[in-house]
């Protein structure tokens, strides 16, 4: 489970980079991410960031 939490903390910054990469016309040409895909990627990044921060806050200030 500690392994899983580490993955949960490492993933969000990489997701942000992947979202930026997939939308870049110079990299992807005509195959850039669609709006739905990009939105879902940013939601994932957001949700995982919030969850990781919430864990930090509830661990530092229990109750």
In the complex, least distance from residue 59 CB atom to other proteins, rounded to whole angstroms: 5
Q: In the stretch 2-41, what mask flags binding to other proteins with x, by CB under 8 A?
A: xxxxxxxxxx-xxx-xxxxxx-x--xxx-x-x--xx--xx
Question: From CA 55, how far away is CA 4, in angstroms rounded?
Answer: 13
Q: For residues 6-45, b (16+ Cβ closer than 10 Å) or e, as one string?
A: eeeeebbeebbeebeebbeeeeeeeeebeeeeeeebeebb
Which residues make up the interface to other proteins (CB under 8 A)? 1-11, 13-15, 17-22, 24, 27-29, 31, 33, 36-37, 40-41, 43-44, 47-48, 51-52, 54-55, 58-59, 62
């Amino acid at each position: 489970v500690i392994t899983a939490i580490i993955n949960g903390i490492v993933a969000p910054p990489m997701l942000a980079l992947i979202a930026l990469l997939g939308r870049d016309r110079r990299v992807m040409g005509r195959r850039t991410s669609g709006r739905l895909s990009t939105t879902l990627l940013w939601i994932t990044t957001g949700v995982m960031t919030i969850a990781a921060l919430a864990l930090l806050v509830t661990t530092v200030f229990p109750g």
